[in-house]
Homo-oligomer: A and B are copies of this chain.
Amino acid sequence: MRQKFHRLTIETRGKGLYMFTSGIEGFVAESGISAGLLTLWCLHTSASLTVQENADPTVRKDVAAFFDELVPEDRTYIHDDEGPDDMPAHLRSMLTNTQLSIPVHGGRPTLGMWQGVYLFEHRRQPHRRTVILHLIGE
């Protein structure tokens, strides 16, 4: 049984979903580990992880509109010194995922045909985000 770690960097250009499925598939392919468990850990509390359809880009627009309405930026928050998009970013992170663990079989994460893995950026400004990748297996 072996383990591999990697720090994946994702540059965001404001709010939205950034697919990085190929980044994790590349990490698994190069690891030499063909069966195991891959864990993704997002190091932030104002960006998160999610699994979503990888095909139709309108899905991403509907996701953005839904979360803008569910956790409004024009609501009154006590914590507001980092801007009106900061507290909503924390709440949207809580409602999605900081972590995902995906089984690896045959040298690949066992994603469904339509599943993409995304970083969900909740801040308006561009950010450099880090996701820790950990793979255990053989």
* Chain A contacts to B: CB under 8 angstroms: 1, 3, 5, 35-37, 39, 41-45, 50-53, 56, 58-59, 61-63, 66, 70-71, 77-79, 87, 90-91, 93-103, 105, 110-112, 114-115, 130, 132, 134, 136-138
Contact with A77, one of B1, B62, B96, B112 (Cβ below 8 angstroms): B62
A103 lies within 8 A of B5 (CB): yes
Bound form: Cα–Cα A105–B84 in Å: 35
Closest to A60 in B: B79
CB distance from A34 to the nearest CB of B (A): 11
Residues in chain B near residue A138, CB distance under 8 A:
3
Q: B44, B61, B90, B136: which contacts A63 (Cβ < 8 A)?
A: B90
Contact status A35-B90, CB under 8 Å: no
CB of A105 to closest CB in B, whole Å: 6
When the two chains form their complex, are residues A37 and B35 in contact, meaning their CB atoms are under 8 A apart? no
Q: Is the interface of A mostly helix, strand, loop or mixed?
A: mixed
**Bound CA–CA A90/B57 (angstroms):** 13
**A130 CA / B112 CA spacing, docked (Å):** 9
Q: Which B residues touch A42, using CB under 8 A? A: 112
Compute how far the CA of A41 lies from the CA of B102 in the bound complex, rounded to whole angstroms: 7
Pick from A39, A95, A98, A137 the residue with the most CB of B within 10 Å. Answer: A98
